[in-house]
Each structure stands twice: as structure tokens, then as C-alpha cells.
A and B are shown apart, each in its own frame.
Chain A
Amino acid sequence: MAIKLGELTCAGTARRVASGDLSAAELIEATLDAITAQDENLGAFLAVYDKQARQRAQQIDSDADLRRQPLAGVPIAVKDNLCVAGCQTTAGSRILEPFSPPFTATVIERLESAGAVLIGKTNLDEFAMGSSTENSAFRRTTNPWDISRVPGGSSGGSAAAVASGVVAGALGSDTGGSIRQPAAFCGVVGLKPTYGRVSRYGLIAFASSLDQIGPLTRTVEDAALILSVIAGDDSKDSTTLPDPVPAFQNDLESDASGLKIGVPEAWLGTGVDPNIKREVTAVLAELEAAGAQLRPIELPHEEFAVATYYVIATAEASSNLARYDGVRYGFRAESNDLADMYANTRSGGFGNEVKRRILLGTFVLSAGYYDAYYGRAQCVRTLLCKDFNQAFADVDILVGPTTPSTAFAIGEKADNPLEMYLSDVFTVTANLAGLPGISVPCGQDDAGLPVGLQIIGPALGEAKILKAARLIEQLRGPFGPAPTV
């Protein structure tokens, strides 16, 4: 019987592998065939680990203990800013050519311990800087719903791989919306955990106070399952939280009655595509009809969030990316002079958007400007965190659109950095305040493109947002996978 990849879930696959109904080896062959058939048009993958995946699948098929693990035999794709020992890792940049990390990211070790099969690495905007995956130094990724459109970014390869049905689960990283925005554009579920919920060890850093790793899946149950596997304290990342990690996937069902939903007024205001407003409003009305209470919420400092975000994110990026100097790893431009070697390496290795952000970040941290930009932005961030704390004193979750528009055309915003930055308007706040957020598909626009609905919860409120996302998934009914590319 042919395997219909687009109908598989991570949880369902693991159950079938455990029962002997499906062999991991058979599933890996079907996945590799699908990548061969689709990826020329989709451009989701930067590397496919065919040999390792086949070996690993055989190992799982012959090991009863592994077959009982929660992700037994499940092919998982990971964004190529996550390190895997001995496998080239690029972060979508020429400056890491070649770089083969000596260690493996904690999240990948945890996935593998849970029985998952690492199938390959997915495309991304260079160093995760972008909202369209157009900034990758290597290839273009298309949106499986319409290949003339971007998949979103920066985890665009992971979102496209999941949306197309090639894999049921993938990992991305989210610094200002880089999991949730591509999830919305590609019609999949994307979850950014609370800051510190998931170890960042082995994630190539962009902005260390904002970065979090999280899952992209087609179902809420799968997002919960992968989160429960990858989350938790890690001695290799001192910013991880010691709090226990529940089995989120076992406690997803709930009732809308009594659920207090805050609706930030600006999220459905001007600048939001009327199609998106229509779809999100319809879901809110259904939740209300099912017993939820809707309350308008004001986040007084939210209008400053994108500017605050770009000051802090570029500042941290300029500092993190100072390490790429050609000395210890990656590309080196030859020169007889050390200072020239540094500058030539960086100028030749980084792409334009990365250089733009390094320059901005260097400026906002420079003597004479630090207080006016970086210092001030960190104070505005405090005010924004207070806005959220006040909101969560009254409501359980906040709900609105993930993005102001559906997937835009390839090239449409490539020459206008500011317009590209503004596409993150609803997602950056959760990173600034360290809060968990999830995007769940809630409908389609008139052109048939997916619309994402975002749920933000209080710190460590992953269970709350997953339950709400599951409710919405049930109200909405089946969604995707995308039409075959």
C-alpha cells in the first residue's frame, strides 16, 4: 500500500511504527522519494541525509525499545541553523562555507533519543534574518500553496517541507516571528515557546535574548508532542528554565466555556488585509458562540514594538556575528594583513541584509548613541512586558492574526527592508516579552492562500495556547496539506 505522506502525523506515525503496522525504513524511502520529486520546485532542503536516515530507520525497525519512543520512525527536518556533529551547517550563509560542527544541538539529540529520524536540513534566510527566505545565499524556497509566492521566513524551508506533506514535523527558530510567520504563510502550525523553555545549545545565534527553537507541524497534537520532547532544562544553556515539562500532547482537549480571550484592538485595525480580518473574526465569533468570553485589550506600547525589536535584534546580531572573522571556522579571505583579512572575509562572506543589520546594530551600540537607541529600546521593552502582564491579569490568552497579509509574491518586498520589517508587526512582541505564541491555520483568503491565527499566552503558558489552538483546529476542520507542487 502506498504511503500517503500528507495524511501522516508525527503522533500517528509513531503509533503505527510501535504497533508494527508501518516500518521506519519504508517511510524513509517514501519521504526520500517525495523530496526527490518535489524539492526542485519547492527548494525546501539544503541537505538531505539519505544514508544516515536509512541506517537510522533500520536501527529503529530492529530495536523494540526505540519503536516504543514517542517519535519512533518519524522523519523530521530541521532548519539549517541547528548544528549536527559532522554535518555541514550553513545558517544560509556563504561565511560558514565550509563548517562542520563538532557538536550536536540539544534539541536534535532529544529528537533522536525520542526515536525521530533526521531527514535533512531546511533552507532559511541567512542567519535567520528575514521574513521570506529570499535572503538565503543558496536557493529560493517557494510556497507550496502558490509557487510564485514566498513561504515566509526565516524558517521558510521547514514550513514549506511540512506544508507540502514531505514531512509531518520540522524544527525552526523564532527571533521575531520566524516560526509563526512562515507557519501562517504555509498553512501549518508553528509554535514559539517561552524564552528559556527550550535549550538553544547548538543553535547558531542571531539575537540571544529573543531566539527560541520550536516545532512546525500540520496538527496541534504534533506541535505539543515535539515540544514535550525538546523542552526542558539543559546544563549546556544556562538560560533554560528549570520548570517541569508536561506531556502537552496528553492534555489538549478543552471546552471554550469560560475561556477569557483578549483581543488586542490594534491587531484587527488598519493595515490588516480584510480577508485576514474576516477569517480571524469568524473564528472569534465561533469561540464566543461556544462559550468563550471576548474582551478588548489595549497594549499601549505595542505601536513601538517593531522599532524596539529591530534596535535590540540588530544590536545583539552585530555582537553575535562578530565571531565570523575567518580565523576559527568558515570562509577566510586571504590577505597579508590581519585587519584586512577580517574585513575582506566578512564583506565577502555575508549577504546584504546581514551586513545591513550588522551596520545598524553596530551603530545603535556605538559610543554616543548607545543610550539613545539600545538603552532606550530596553526600557520600552520593559513597558511592553508590563502591558502583557496587565493583560494576562484579566484574560487567559490573546488572539489575533499572525500576519497583516497572506504570503506575498517573491521579490515583492526584497528591495524595501522597512516594509519587510513591518511584516513582523504582530509576532515580534512575543519575543520581546519572552512569551509563548502559536500560529494555527484558521482559513483561506480569496486567492486560496492560508490565513494564520496567533495565540499568545503568559510565560510558561504553552499548555493554554496549545489547548486553545486545538479548539480552533476542531472548529475549523481539516486543513491542508498544500496542493501538490
Chain B
Amino acid sequence: MGVSPEFVDYVAKLAKLHLADDEKDAVASDLAGVLEFFAQLDRVDITDVPPTKHVVGLSNVERSDVKSPSLSTDKVLANTADTDEDHFVVPKVLPD
């Protein structure tokens, strides 16, 4: 399939990535090449074939319902750029 600059913008927005104008052409051409390669999968007959959910067949793995220690707040907050008491600080979400 062909990949237009608008389409690249749409996917980049979904992926939360900004692309510079000069990057967009390269990305469009890379994506087009790889998507053309992916198109070979259309040749496979998948009628009545279920999708793989787990390769070894494990399902519903449960643990005992008992409390166990988790990370302390200090450790959880240790790698962030900005904190306020026990919270992560991010730019304002809603406009003034």
C-alpha cells in the first residue's frame, strides 16, 4: 500500500511521536516498503485457523490472595523528574 504524509501524521499522532518534515518522507518510504513486505501474509489461507494466544498453552495463572510487600513510595518516585509530596508532577492537563 502507498503511504501518504497525512497517513504518517495520523500514525505518529497515535504513537505520540513528533516527526520533523524531513523525517516524514523517509518514514513514509520505510513504512511503504515494510507494509508491502507484510502483504505476503494475504496469500495464507487462514480459514478456521484460530489466532495464537499463548505458545505453550498456559492460561489463568493465579497467585494466592495474600499480601506481600511492594515498592516503597520513595523508591517509586526516585526516578522521576518532578515530584510533590507523594505524587508525580506533570504539566497541567486541563486548560485554565
Interface residues in chain A, defined as those with a beta carbon under 8 Å from any beta carbon in chain B? 98-100, 102-103, 194-196, 209, 235, 238-239, 241, 301, 303-304, 307-308, 310-311, 318, 322, 325-330, 332, 335-344, 346-347, 350, 355-356, 358-360, 362-364, 366, 373, 375-383, 385, 417-418, 421, 432-434, 459
Decide: A378 and B52 in contact? CB cutoff 8 A: yes
Residue numbers in B under 8 Å from A377 (CB-CB): 41
CA distance A209 to B56 in the complex (A): 10
Evaluate contact between B50 and A379: CB separation under 8 angstroms: yes
| Chain A residues with CB below 8 A from B19, complex form | 347, 355
Given known pairs A241-B58, A382-B49, the reply for A347 and B18 (CB within 8 Å) is yes
A residues within 8 A CB of B34?
A: 310, 360, 417-418, 421
In chain B, what residue has the closest Cβ to A381?
B52
Of the candidates B17, B55, B79, B81, which one forms a contact with A359 in the assembled complex, judged by CB atoms under 8 Å apart?
B17
**A98 in contact with B79 (CB, 8 Å):** yes
Residue of A nearest to B51 (CB): A378
Task: Tell me what chain A mostly uses at the interface: helix, strand, loop, or mixed.
Answer: helix
Q: What residues on B are CB-neighbors of A102 within 8 Å?
A: 71, 75-76, 78-79
Residues on B with C-beta less than 8 A from A311 are 38, 41
Contact B81–A332 (Cβ < 8 Å): yes
A300 to chain B, nearest CB (A): 10
Question: What chain B residues lie within 8 Å of A195 (beta carbons)?
Answer: 55-56
B90:A301 contact, CB within 8 angstroms? no
State in angstroms the CA–CA spacing of A329 and B46 once bound together. Answer: 42
Q: Is A338 a contact of B50 with CB atoms below 8 Å?
A: no
Please state if B31 and A310 are interface contacts (CB–CB under 8 Å): no
Among residues 25 to 84 in chain B, which have CB atoms less than 8 Å away from a CB atom of chain A?
27, 30-31, 33-35, 37-38, 40-44, 46, 49-56, 58, 61, 63, 71, 75-76, 78-82
Min CB distance, B19 to chain A, in Å? 7
Contact A347 B17, CB 8 Å, known A359-B11, A381-B52: yes
Q: With A307-B40, A362-B15, A382-B50 known to touch, is A338 a contact of B76 (CB < 8 Å)?
A: no
Taking a contact as CB atoms closer than 8 A, the residue among B37, B50, B80 that contacts A327 in the complex is B80
Q: Shortest distance in angstroms between A190's beta carbon and chain B's nearest beta carbon?
A: 20
CA distance A383 to B58 in the complex (A): 19
CA distance A360 to B32 in the complex (A): 10
Interchain CA distance A241-B59 in the complex, whole Å: 11
Question: Are A433 and B80 in contact (CB-based, < 8 A)?
Answer: no
B2 close to chain A: CB less than 8 A: no
Quick one: given A102-B71, A102-B78, are A358 and B51 in contact (CB under 8 Å)? no
B88–A327 touching, CB < 8 Å: yes
Contact partner, B31, options A326, A329, A340, A360, Cβ 8 Å: A360
Q: How far is the CB of A276 from chain B (nearest CB, A)?
A: 23
Q: 27 interchain pairs (CB within 8 A)?
A: A99-B79, A100-B79, A102-B75, A102-B78, A194-B56, A235-B63, A307-B40, A307-B41, A308-B41, A310-B37, A310-B38, A327-B80, A328-B80, A328-B88, A335-B91, A341-B90, A343-B16, A358-B15, A359-B8, A366-B11, A373-B38, A378-B51, A379-B44, A382-B50, A383-B46, A421-B37, A433-B55
Closest to A326 in B: B81
Cα distance, A235 to B19, chains bound together (Å): 41
Once the chains bind, are B11 and A304 in contact (CB under 8 Å)? no
